[in-house]
Chain A
Amino acid sequence: MYGWMGKILDINLTTGDIHAINTERFVPKYIGARGIAARIAWESIPFGIDAFDPENRLMFMVGPFVGTPVPNGNRSYVFGVAPQAYPKPVYSRSSFGGNWGAELKFAGYDGIVICGKSENPAYLWIDDGGVEIKDASDIWGLDTHSTQRVLMRKHGNDARTVTIGPAGENLVRISVILTETKSSAGQGGFGAAMGSKKLKAITVHGTKGVKIAHPRELMKLREEVANLVRPKKEEPEPDHVQLGWVKFPAGTTYRIRRAHNPCVGCVSDCYAWSQFLVGVPCKVQPNTISGQIQCQALMMMTWGTSKSKHAAETSGRDTWINQGVEGGFETVMLANKYGLNIWELCVGIQLWLILCRFKGVFLGEELNNFNQDDPEFWQSLWRKITYREGIGNILAEGAVRAADILGGKRFLRHIAWGQSEHGAGRGAWDFFEFPKWIVGALLWATDNRDPFSDTGHKYAVLSSWPNIRERLTIAKKIYETEEAVLPLQEEITEGDVKEDQMMQAYRGKAQAAIWHQNRGAVIGSLPLCDAVFPLIISEHTPNGDGDKSLESKLFAAVTGVTITEAQLDQRGEMIFNLERAIAIRNGRTRQDDESIVPFFKEPDWTKGISIDESRFTKLLDEYYVLRGWDVQKGWPLKQKLYQLDLKDVADSLEEMNHLPAQTIDRRGLAR
């Protein structure tokens, strides 16, 4: 078999049973990571169980591209019922980069499915096919970096480890699974799922190889991608760079390294301003630290409103947090070492506390009297959350559960599924203007997690593309309607949207959302990095055209399975529908999808526009019809599932009375 290694590990920690599942059972139909995991979840996760149930599966999956020189194809995924999910259990996913996934392929596996619960702390040691469950009592309690150092000393420098920190051990619902200095599966809080299984780490080393069907073709495609994503300008000198919105003072005593520690085979300038800082002096501890930071880490260091007046009115100041480079970096690295989810700390907790204090909502003495520019306050708060001390015990349940107890829910940046704002124009991405956040709302409504880190990034890029002519033609080419990016954000004046603009804003958005969701499922299965793929737009071609058929070409080059772009997208649609079926089995209905609407009723932070509920309801209707789903319930129709080759899924949903009795007309629309 080309691309795939042929075996998936199935480990039961309760009994200590280890055996292998044949990957050929799932491929090429389910492609890889996200597809295979959805199938396994459908078959083996019992209905409606909680994330901390021993029967919950924690799945680490890699796809055919991992461990090969496919550009940006080396991400690994974690799946399972997510501890962070709110209010009810949700099957979700999260991904991380680094070298671990490639090492797992070299050890001969396409994934690891873990169920059960170990009695004592344990870690997995996978060495070239051999698997051992080992005692982890000596590393239990160590931070993520020390754990990796200890395991590398034990198993050699080339071994790679994914691990949880003390946060995951203490079942903090916003904890991550981390590898290297900062690559982590954050959203979903899978660190706690791993902690509930008493599994501290998985260390992998391998010397096998991934076979590739057409190596020459692959190298040609690699060059093509590298040409399309190369940086426009010459890279600046490595010292004294502007790091996102953080300016580094001249003459710093530490070194800044551009684009270091990428995933295997990366060709892009790791998405938003990834930098490696070496030897930064700390503010609180007498020490120096090194590590990598990315956009969310920058937000924890220094963060404020980008250009919006409304945000300043909501929060009382332009710069919400300014811990400085040194102090902020220490705070960020501490969160990484504890194994906490920086996005949730930042958008979920930091911003919520700041807004509540400004609006005079009393959350408690400790949470209302603080200096947000003081790294020591945040660091002590992270410690309390990690070890569940005092107020930290409440915050460790995640911002939305904490707000249920403490109050201040109005100022929470929580949208749905226990996860905080991203791509909704009212918080982290306040630059995401009307009408773009309407697609954001659709994605949030119908996905199982924050959709903007593996599905929606490229819509954000396209809809903000500076050249308007290119923006419209490419939108027309991809979504078959240019209304997906209309009305132009440049033509909307603040607080005054004309009727025709308002009507246009709710048209053509469903097509964009569906296209990105289907493609997102493909990209999550291959897997590819969403910073580059789908490559719909590029600065280096005359018309701004990217090449959206790259996924299928790369798939054919690696696996030897010839497939057209449309067929691959249909596989994506199948995977998305299968994930929907899992959600439906756990009780998901249209009501749950619509639970995002109240958040969007708050005026957005750039132009003060709120969602028009009746129009959005109609848009959601349109989305369901285009998807071939029932409009009342939001459930896939029998015919749709049959058409997607998910016959057994349809039959088993029918048995549960979860299959609406409607048909799809000749155009493929639900009626």
Chain B
Amino acid sequence: MTKTKRAWVFEQRKNRRIVIQPELCSGCRTCELVCALYHEGESNPSLSRIHVKRDFFEAEYIPVTCLQCKYPPCYYACPVDGALIIDKNTGSKVIIEEKCTGCGTCARICPYNEKDKIIRYNPQKTKCFKCDLCGGNPQCVKACRWMALKYE
């Protein structure tokens, strides 16, 4: 590993995130579609950076997305220099598509990555992708009519 990654650096920095209130989520999946549309240019939940876990028999809907950890395991684990960086303005952990090799180390090490829905893999591009807070203007939060998502 060529670069030094030190934890104390982040404590001085902003660390913004999307806060989820599952009890308000209606399960309309607009966030998924809007996210994929913004990042990939097509309406496709399998390319979305936010995922709604759904159980329609009990109306249980839980949106899951990157928690933007303060001490991010994915960031430390990434073996490629500059492929997973921290955005200076928002503190979000961003995968740089050009540099990502799609090895999946970040996805495996993420403790919250149940069923690979938070750090996901795009088989067409052979890259990993995850929530980058849209550079400070998260589209899913804007589109959520039920106010289940908040940007803090």
Contact = CB atoms under 8 A, between A and B. Distances in A.
A222 B41 contact: no
B40 interface: yes
A290 B29 CA distance: 21
Interface string B46-73: 1100000010111101000000000000
Interface residues of A, number: 39
B139 to A, nearest CB: 8
B42 A265 contact: no
A69 B59 contact: no
Interface in B19-34: 26-30, 33-34
Q: Which of A98, A209, A265, A278: most chain B CB closer than 10 A?
A: A209
Contacts, number: 92
B136 to A, nearest CB: 17
Contact of A68 (B38, B43, B139): B43
A211 B59 contact: no
A260 interface: yes
Contacts of A219: 34, 37, 139, 142-143
B59 A207 contact: no
A212 interface: yes
Contacts of A67: 33, 43
A405 B44 CA distance: 52
A109 B146 CA distance: 30
B14 interface: no
Nearest to A215: B37
B37 A262 contact: no
Contacts of B28: 262-266
A261 B30 contact: no
B44 A260 contact: no
| Chain B interface category by residue count | 20 to 34
A223 to B, nearest CB: 8
B106 interface: no
Contacts of B79: none
A666 to B, nearest CB: 46
A384 interface: no
Contacts of B95: none
B45 interface: yes
Contacts of A211: 41-43
B43 A261 contact: no
Contact of A265 (B29, B61, B142): B29
A79 B43 CA distance: 26
A212 to B, nearest CB: 6
A12 to B, nearest CB: 30
A106 interface: yes
A259 B26 contact: yes
Nearest to A2: B42
A257 interface: yes
| A interface: dominant SS | loop
Interface string A550-561: 000000000000
Interface in B103-151: 139, 142-143, 145-146
B36 interface: yes
| B interface: dominant SS | mixed
A276 B59 contact: yes
Contacts of B26: 259-262, 266
Interface string B61-98: 10000000000000000000000000000000000000
A262 B27 contact: yes
Contacts of A276: 59
A102 B27 CA distance: 14
B46 A180 contact: no
B42 to A, nearest CB: 3
Interface in A188-211: 207-211
A448 interface: no
B44 A106 contact: yes
Contacts of A99: 29, 56
A68 B41 CA distance: 11
B57 A209 contact: no
Contacts of A263: 28
A209 B29 contact: no
A226 interface: yes
B43 A260 contact: no
B33 A68 contact: yes
Nearest to A69: B33
B108 to A, nearest CB: 21
B38 A210 contact: no
A265 B38 contact: no
B34 A260 contact: no
Contact of B33 (A257, A261, A265): A265
A36 B43 CA distance: 23
A276 B143 CA distance: 23
A210 B58 contact: no
Contacts of A145: 57
A350 interface: no
A209 B58 contact: no
A251 B28 CA distance: 29
Interface string A325-356: 00000000000000000000000000000000
Contacts of B36: 209
A181 interface: yes
A639 interface: no
A292 B29 contact: no
Q: Which of B34, B40, B58: most chain A CB closer than 10 A?
A: B58
A264 B43 CA distance: 12
B41 to A, nearest CB: 7
B27 A209 contact: no
A69 B145 CA distance: 12
Contacts of A172: none
A149 B37 CA distance: 31
B29 A210 contact: no
Nearest to A183: B56
A592 B57 CA distance: 43
Given A67-B43, A181-B56, A266-B145, 15 more contacts: A67-B33, A68-B37, A68-B43, A69-B33, A98-B56, A106-B46, A208-B44, A209-B42, A219-B143, A222-B143, A226-B145, A261-B26, A261-B56, A261-B59, A278-B59
9 contacts: A102-B29, A212-B37, A212-B42, A219-B37, A226-B145, A260-B26, A261-B26, A262-B26, A290-B57
Give 5 closest A-B pairs by Cβ, nearest first.
Answer: A209-B44, A209-B42, A207-B46, A260-B59, A276-B59
Interface of B: 26-30, 33-34, 36-38, 40-47, 54, 56-59, 61, 139, 142-143, 145-146
Interface of A: 67-69, 98-99, 102, 106, 145, 149, 157, 180-181, 207-212, 215, 218-219, 222, 226, 230, 257, 259-267, 276, 278, 290-292
